Amino acid sequence: TLVVVAVTDRGEDVFLGKRTIHCNNATASEPFGIIDTPVPGQVVSGDMTICGWVLTPPPNRIPGSGATIKVFLDSQFIGTAEYNIPSSEIAELFPQCLNSHRAQARFQLDTRQLKNGPHVLEWLVKDNAGNRASIGNRYILVRNKT
C-alpha cells in the first residue's frame, strides 16, 4: 500500500490518499534498471557522467553495444549510452539475468551546451525481443558560470 502525505510550509502533514498495488515480478517481461547518478535535483555544471544499470528478464538481453539504451534530455533524443560495463554488485543481485555481470551503462553530457535551470534526463531501453521501458528520469539543475 502506497500512502501519500504532503508537508505544508508550516510543517503540518496532510494526507493525500493511498493506493494498494499488486506486483508479480515472476511474469515481468520489460527491461528494468535505474539511473544512479545524478541524483534527483542535483546541481550540475560542465562535463558530467550519467551512470546507471539496465537488465531485462531472461531469456532476453540488452544488446552489449548500448545502441538500444536511448538517452533523452527534456524529451529530446541526445544519444545512446555506453553499456556492457562490469558490475559484480548487479550480478549478485540479479544472477538469473543473462548479462547481469556487465549491466552498467553511462553517458557523457556537456551541460555547458544547456541553459541554466531545470532539465529532465531519461533513459528509454529496448531489449533484443523488442520489449521497451523507461528506466526512469532525473530532474537536474544546471548552473554553469556565464
pLDDT in tens, 73-110: 999 999 999 999 999 999 999 999 989 999 999 999 99
Query: What cell does 60 get?
Result: 532476453
Per-residue pLDDT, 84: 96
DSSP 82-145: EEEE--HHHHHH-TTSTTGGG-EEEEEEEGGGS-SEEEEEEEEEE-TT--EEEEEEEEEEE---
CB of 140 closer than 8 Å to CB of 121: yes
CB of 85 closer than 8 Å to CB of 104: yes
Mean pLDDT of the chain: 94
In Å, how far are 8, 25, 87 from 105, measured between CA atoms?
38, 23, 10
- Residue 94, classified by CB atoms within 10 Å of its CB into exposed (0-12), middle (13-18) or buried (19+), is buried
Per-residue pLDDT, 136: 86
Residue stretches of the chain with pLDDT short of 70: none
Per-residue pLDDT, 22: 85
Per-residue pLDDT, 24: 75
